[in-house]
Structure 1
């Protein structure tokens, strides 16, 4: 934490509430893993995140008890980082019947109707988790002097390098 960082002990400060309400993407880190950008839906002071087959990847989030959540502003700067209590919402419960359709309706580019999407999540064992503010919130402070950039993660994606396109032949003088 930076020298001027402010640590707030309360779980749901006005800044946490406001940033959470406006969030559509959150950077979530589980244990010592890297923070992953995950799309989310705000609901009653918490964030709802779905992951699993056919959805975004969030290794360890469904099994975790806690995670670090960072929310950023419109221009990419960090607004706040807070510790979240992670609770999984299970299919077949009243909570699932309420929350899964809410999240499904906000899913961009969803293949088919929301009811089909929610049924697929249940059948494919996708994880719907609720991230509730439950610890210290860190905000403010100066930016660190060193870079916080991480090296790119390994990927099977390969991009073919092609020769530049030429419209006409260039002659030498």
Structure 2
């Protein structure tokens, strides 16, 4: 029998506007939040995760850009006390204490990436060192726009999956 956590039960019980606000911490696209909130109630975390994954993959590019606008540059920790900022700092913890040269490389790479693609470089940074994030950034600079959009959606989906799991299982991330 699938486990139903208090966080999932709490998310299922929220009003649609409140559920959307909670889900925006997972992916800052209003279209994403509306789609996932509208699919409630979810029987288990797997169903919620599948719905979140499908919602990210269905986003139109302007909706992806809306989500990207909420992400800090890699190597520049998010400020503020919000749940999304707290999660972002944890996700990018591999950049904390990195060598100055690697951090300078990330800063320069972020600028080149933004110049080339017009938006922040997004990578699912959980478990990656700053050097690995930089290596991926440099490799992706060779992508054309269409290929990079596909990679960005995959990275956004990966981040969203992690955050949805936190929303329903982490006491600090529980929907209230």
Could you say which TM-score interval applies, normalised by the shorter chain? under 0.3
Structure whose alpha-carbon radius of gyration is higher: 1
Relative to the length of structure 2, the TM-score reads: 0.27
- Structure having the higher helix fraction is 2
- Structure having the higher strand fraction is 1
